[in-house]
Chains A and B, each alone.
Chain A
Amino acid sequence: MTPSEILMIPINDWVNDFVRGFLVPNFRPFFRAMQVPVAGLLNALDALFAFIPMLVMTALFAVASWRAVGRGMALFTVIGLCFIDMIGLWAETMTTLSMIVTSVLFCAVIGIPAGILAARSDTTWRIMRPILDIMQTVPSFVYLVPIVMLFGVGMPPGIIATVIFALPPIIRMTNLGLRGVRADLVEAAESFGSTRWQMLWDVQFPLALRTIMAGLNQTLMLALSMVVIAALIGGGGLGLVVNTGLGRLDVGGATAGGIGIVILAIILDRISQGLAERGSDRTSLLSVLKGYVRPQRPATRTA
């Protein structure tokens, strides 16, 4: 005799009832409304990237690589982007780029404040932590279904799925970075009568910036890894190329899409990592940004 012979738990029915019978009828307008800002930003970026000529875009990326990493990376960027253009995937790449930028921006806008809240209160962190654990352990395919039920199909739901998938690292790393700021520095700021905002802005955030940037890099990479999956529910771009190729057993097409994703991933990864490392030298938001505009100058710190 096994437990299932005594009692069957109809968990699938429960979830179906909950989602179909409660969430969808009652909250559909709410979930639909959530898509508006996502769709707005996505369309704006998509239009912008489509508008910028391929050569100008390549030049912009090359300069960014050069500033953040170095000359070799700039060269790789130029060659990689030209290659993408030559295999005929430039437009798809730009669509993917706008999806990723949108996702990462939403992750930052949600994740950094969430991380700040988590760092400020142990209770908040205790509540948030298991949620993040679940978000990271549930396979991404699993929540595509409820997302489709709630949001429908198309690009914005794809972005929302990506945001959910890519959000945990930026929250975790913001929390970690802020909590890791030396206690005596926080004490010093407090002893001079700083408000919590002054402390956050002048001391904690700049000192945690490197860790936060590392979190942003991880988030970016997760967002990239989601493009193929998001294409299953209507996302476009390189993910769609891969999916279509697989669906039609067109190995060549799928490979081309895959190569495009890899090249884009390498470029974005190195640039964002370079940014994070810059953050460790300057450790102030403003000086990182300034350093990005001004020519590169070797760090002058001695131990």
Chain B
Amino acid sequence: MTPVSQETQHQSKKQGVKDESKTVQKKAQETSSAAPPDSRSAELLIGIPGSRDGVKKIQRNVPADEPPQLPPNSELKVIGKRVPRYDGALKVSGAAKYPSDIHLPGMLYARFVNATVPHAKIISVDTSAAEKHPGVKAVHVLQDVLGQAELQDKAKEVPSRYPIVRYAGQPIAAVAATTPAGALEAARLVKVQYEPKPFVVERAKAREPNAPLVFPGPAAEKATAGGGGGASDVPQKGNVRGPNRGRHDAGPKGDVEKGFAGSAAIVEAEYRTQVQTHSALETHGLVADWKPDGLTVYASTQGTMSVRDELAEIFNLPKTKVRVFTEYMGGGFGAKFGASNPGAVAAHLSKKAGAPVRMFCDRKEEQWGTGNRPDAHMYVKAGASKDGTLQALKWISYGTAGVGTGAGSAGPAQNMYDCPNLLVEEYDVFTNAGPGAAMRAPGHPQGVFGLEQTIDALAEKVGMDVLEFMDKNDRSPERREERRIGAEKFGWAQKRRKPNSDPGPVKRGVGVAQAVWYRINSMDSGCEVRIHQDGSVEALSAVQDIGGGIKTVIAEIVAEELGLQPRDITVRVGDTSMPPGPPSGGSMTTTSITPAVRNAAFKAKGRFVKEVASAWRVPAASLRVADGNVSSDSGKSVSFKQAAGAMKTETVSATAMRSPEYGKRDMIFLGGVQFAEVAVDTETGVIRVERVVAVHDCGRPMNILGLESQVNGGILQAISYALFEDRRLDQNTGIMVNPNMEEYKIIGAKDMPQIEVHFIEDYLARSSTDAGGIGEPAKIPGAAAVANAVYNATGVRMYELPMTPARVLTALGKVKQGGIA
């Protein structure tokens, strides 16, 4: 819980947020704590309205040209209200054109040829039959496979003309043809000859001393935009890479053994979580249009700029010659940062064919190799004194990100509770499986599944209510307030009974779990605001809207600043020819871009007012822009539109970047608390989640409607993770057995609980909007809250996800161990 700066500089290929805590660590050195010379001291509001400590004023240095701090949301007209989605009408009518909907004249359709074995040297790739297939215009054999770890010392492997196949489904080649069916037929005609190697797909087996080696020496993942992973500079032995002992400042402290010796209560257990795939509805892909004067792509991405940068680097083009459009995109959840394999291949094919190429993965390919949340096997030991003060916490975890890295899970253990003695060790285990990628709060749903069950058990052991135990050991003012509000809304005091209180076969119980996340922001966040003579206003940025609703929030901010309504603002985003935008990952979009938008709107307003004042021959200071009007102290008042007509030139415009967070360069956290009520049928083993109450913080809430949607999404994804989802690989063939959407089970509408979402306002005096993100924290606590509720219902703890009926019956002793997969 100690200082780390959270600002990131945009650097080519460093945008990935696969392991947020690592990203944060790397960036810590890049910012200085010196206040800019042209700063002013401002009195700023700080605190949580309605909380124990309330709000107060503090003095902080802010850059001289920053706009004044916004008042609390209750005093604003647009921000923090329920604003319908900017592009809602286009989305519900099918008019929104997603990258996968783009159709360019002469466009070709491309398909991959994928490895059918999990580990092999490729002897030959024969594309001759495919090339002759009618309609085929280009064939490309991959020289590099993106988005996975690489062997550091190439001399350790027998030289190979083609990339080594390290997981079943790895792309090998691709063809482009005039029709989708033609491309598929041609792809099937490509003949690949393999020299198979021994393989291992299970984490536990891969750790054994004589396990087949996924890499014949140390391997690391390049920090690619596609989500480069684990910590660098950690040792590797066989398939096991580690230990990583945590961030330099939140890593080991004290002496855990002494801490345990001084503990009155100790709990110790092992927890396991499964591999979860992102399963965004729109698969990875893009349309690439290679022209002599540059490359244009329409990409389904969370980072327009990282796609641009990756393509510029691969094809040795200046960034100005690659233009990326992402007007809409159908979900990412962390796996869609760089151009990745489909992007690079589409560009190669387009260049060869001299025609635009559409390359989108099919569902199988999406499941095999475009990213996943690594699994985890966590050993957790915690001790507390009689009065419930945490004394020691030990965390050792192994996880596999397949042929990728970044399977750590100790973030919550390091950052949630105060604990004087802490030891963490994280190990990555390579397996012949598709690479992991950042997935909505990397490492944290796993870590919280272990940590919050540990806290629940420890509180019970010292005889305390778990909320009281949390109050004692958790210093976050946000979570304190969230526990208070949540307990009241949920009815915790009435509902929380002793474990296994229901006598019948269906047992009800309640549980609680918390989130910890980090307020990360990208300094590469810019916006241009233009006011035109006809009174129309537009805001422009390269930032993309991945479904979180940033377009709506941008419209709100500009409207608030100019005294207009969100519908009066045209928002143009998802185009790299506009001012830079942050990647949408790590809950950083809102934190990053909103201050840039406000700063630009504030500056543009200043210029606009100057123009109007000079036309009206009054001092600029005598004008006010509010409620759709421009008025002067002299009593003149006209509509915004009319006032704009007085401007000398067509447009006034201002571009602004985000300023660094105000105040000390310390780590700022995001919290969140979720309460769950479940019914467990002890005869069938079926768990039903009946109700969830969630209370979250995200700095200044910008749009309650959109925030509710995101929290709903986090909760549903977490329940899906808790009960259903499980990527399964066949250990005899190394092939995924459920690369689809029916056997890879995703929560449906009939499984959803009643959900209630609340937000606190958390003014931090850190930026000109003070807004933070919500995507990750919303996803973190759900599975743990459900597991704690299952324990409360049955008196039996679930140590492994997903909590399938078979596992529940086994835990209840109704089915023999080993009777489950």
A and B interact physically: no
